Amino acid sequence: MWAWLLAAGLAGCAKSSIVSFDQRSILINGKRKMLLSGSVHYMRILPSDWNKTFALASELGLNTIQTYVAWNFHEPHLRDRNNATWTGRANLSKFIEAAASNGLYVNLRIGPFICGEYYFGGIPLWLRGFENVSCFRCDDTIWKQESRRWLSTVVDYVRPLLLDNGGPVIMLQVENEYRGGSQDYLDWAVDMATNTTKGLSVPWSLCHDLELCSSVNHRSEASGKAICTINGFWMEEFNKNPSQPSPIWIDTLRRLNPMMPTVWTEDQGWFDQWKVAKRVRSTSDQLYGIARFFAYGGSWHNFYMLTGGSNFGRQSGGEVVTAYAPDTVISPMLLRHQPRFGLYQKFFRAIANYSNALLSSASIPVPVRFNSRSRRLRGRSGHTAKASANPVLMVEACTDTDPSHIGVLDASQQFSLQLPESSSFGHFLNNVTGTSLCLSATSSVAPVSLQPCSSSSDLLWEFNQNQSSQLRSKAQYPCQAPGMKGKSCNRCLDYNSQLTLWDCKGDKDKELGNQKWGLDAKEEHGMRHSESGNCLTAVSSGNDWAEYVEYIEVDDRNEAKQSGLAFLSNLHMDHPVKVIWRGQQYLLMNHSVTLGARFDL
């Protein structure tokens, strides 16, 4: 039955198919696959709408569906233990069958804990009544016994639907966003899960804690392994322990797990909550992140959600509203969210058209920053920046309100004042590039830039960290204000629509507020402008704004062809960049990626 079903929908999916992977991608029967995916939760969509949903997914250009399996949806009462419901809205096999008939692979995230803003994270409430159960998602004997029983039940149910047996299921997930701190428990969970599919090729994954997942994979060869994946919003950088999709996370993944593909499990179209402002994602910003992910060698991207559906009855967790994740590419009413749907459709068709070229080699190219021929175009502020290898300072909205990392600033906004013993003057520095860079009082008036730290007195600053105050240079320099020519002044960081280094103002100066700052009293210090409330930010400058990644196509013998394609990226949020690449001039609009610029060798 399943072999016939898949012959109608999934080309190349036949009995005894095999899933494998390397550092570049998932392979099905040895052929690389660019997996373009979207999350659809069967418990939030009526069965009568499953086929329509999958038809829209195919129309969008996707080839994979991802879903959680909610334990308490199938065993809601204690009397249902060992007698799970698999009919009606809970007919998971029919859901998977419908996906396959629309030419879609399936990724099942079993848990047993799933989160998903679902009631009690999918765990049955009756489990709390078990005598002597001390904790969930831990080394508790009862929890392990019940979670093993449930996960084995699900695996046995879907076993005929795994790719090895002619079905569309190409990956399974154990646990979900585990940050409980018990490496022993996570090791056990992966071993338990992989033992249920011993002898089969379909891999297991762990999402969203790279350090814990990597530790699982660094055990002995006989131990279970999991593909480490990531959830969240694309960020050009995050912090020293990256927990969002970003170049830093991708680099860390490949360093710690060199033979695993780059998988983005949840590119989040956020859910809404009662009494909380509606969350909306910018189409252009999301597309920029997806393009950057593929430029960096990503090979599996998943929209979370493709469509959110509805929280029926008391399904929703916390304060989540009835329409789950309404700001998605397909609405809960299964309407195309235009113009977003059309733009995403064009993008994914382009990725699919180029997928053979992008995946022709197992190697992943290194991004390269453009040379000095790159220059920033004159922007609205009316000035053109000089090319500089060091970040420049700007004042931008503080990032600690981002829902993906509430209370934590991006590394670009983390500053510190390092004071030697018995001195009130020290270095004011930032580590956004991975190396300490200091503010120099001899930096150009605008834009203000950072430079490598040294013992120079030009890099010494005084600041009262206990109150709003001026960041004042130790050394004095020729005054810049009219009427002060020939005199010497200390320099202060000054912000009034533009950040500058200017003569320090006196207590009675009416513009003193432009130079008042506050430094957060916590590890991730934010330098906040007292009047605007915005944060000092280190951003890429000059020829650091643009970069390219070239993919050289190879043939079946792994020899380079005479052609390739490239991604050209402008990382700057506000300004376009003009670059020269392979003898041709390109105008890269702000915060954009040019996809598929073909070239001949």
15-58 confidence digits (pLDDT tens): 568 999 999 999 999 999 999 999 999 999 999 999 999 999 99
Could you tell me if 281 and 270 are in contact, meaning their C-beta atoms sit under 8 angstroms apart?
A: yes
**Residue 235 and residue 293 in one domain:** yes
Q: The domain that contains 279 carries what CATH number?
A: 3.20.20.80
Specify the higher pLDDT residue, 222 or 416. Answer: 416
Handedness of CA 386, 389, 394, 399 (dihedral sign): positive
Letter for the amino acid at 282?
S
Rounded to whole angstroms, the Cα distance separating 465 from 355 reads 53
Specify the higher pLDDT residue, 284 or 554. Answer: 284
**Residue 22 and residue 152 in one domain:** yes
Specify the higher pLDDT residue, 484 or 8. Answer: 484
What pLDDT was estimated at residue 3?
Answer: 40
> Is 177 one of the annotated active-site residues of the chain?
yes
The pLDDT of 103-115, averaged and rounded, is: 97
Rounded to whole angstroms, the Cα distance separating 76 from 442 reads 68
Catalytic residue among 177, 211, 524, 531: 177
Rounded to whole angstroms, the Cα distance separating 109 from 422 reads 57
Tokens of 390: 């060091």
Q: Is residue 563 part of a domain?
A: yes
Rounded to whole angstroms, the Cα distance separating 598 from 403 reads 38
Q: Is residue 128 part of a domain?
A: yes
Tokens of 538: 């280190």
Tokens of 219: 């055990």
| Residue 392 binned pLDDT confidence (cut-offs 50, 70, 90) | confident
The pLDDT of 386-403, averaged and rounded, is: 73
**Residue 535 and residue 567 in one domain:** no
C-alpha neighbours within 13 Å on the C-beta side of residue 526: 18
What pLDDT was estimated at residue 573?
Answer: 77
Q: The domain that contains 406 carries what CATH number?
A: 2.80.10.50
Rounded to whole angstroms, the Cα distance separating 410 from 488 reads 36
Which of these three, 521, 539, 557, is where a domain ends?
A: 539
> Is 266 one of the annotated active-site residues of the chain?
yes
Q: Is 251's pLDDT higher than 60?
A: yes
**Residue 480 and residue 594 in one domain:** no
Domain boundaries, position 405: 392-539
**Residue 494 and residue 511 in one domain:** yes
Catalytic residue among 146, 236, 266, 553: 266
Q: Is 382's pLDDT higher than 70?
A: no
What pLDDT was estimated at residue 329?
Answer: 96
The separation between the first and the last C-alpha atoms of the chain, rounded to the nearest angstrom, is: 49
Q: What percent of the chain is modeled with pLDDT above 70? A: 89
**Residue 190 and residue 145 in one domain:** yes
**Residue 520 and residue 401 in one domain:** yes
Distance of CA 546 to the CA centre of its chain: 20
Q: Is residue 570 part of a domain?
A: yes
Q: Is residue 386 part of a domain?
A: no
The pLDDT of 187-213, averaged and rounded, is: 96
Specify the higher pLDDT residue, 52 or 407. Answer: 52
Q: Is residue 384 part of a domain?
A: no
What pLDDT was estimated at residue 222?
Answer: 78
Which of these three, 513, 539, 565, is where a domain ends?
A: 539
**Residue 47 and residue 17 in one domain:** yes
**Residue 326 and residue 453 in one domain:** no
Cα angle 263, 265, 268 (rounded to 5 degrees) comes to: 130
Whether this prediction's pTM lies above 0.75 is answered by: yes
Rounded to whole angstroms, the Cα distance separating 247 from 238 reads 9
Overall number of domains in the chain? 3
Q: Is 387's pLDDT higher than 80?
A: no
Alpha helix ranges (H) inside 362-432: none
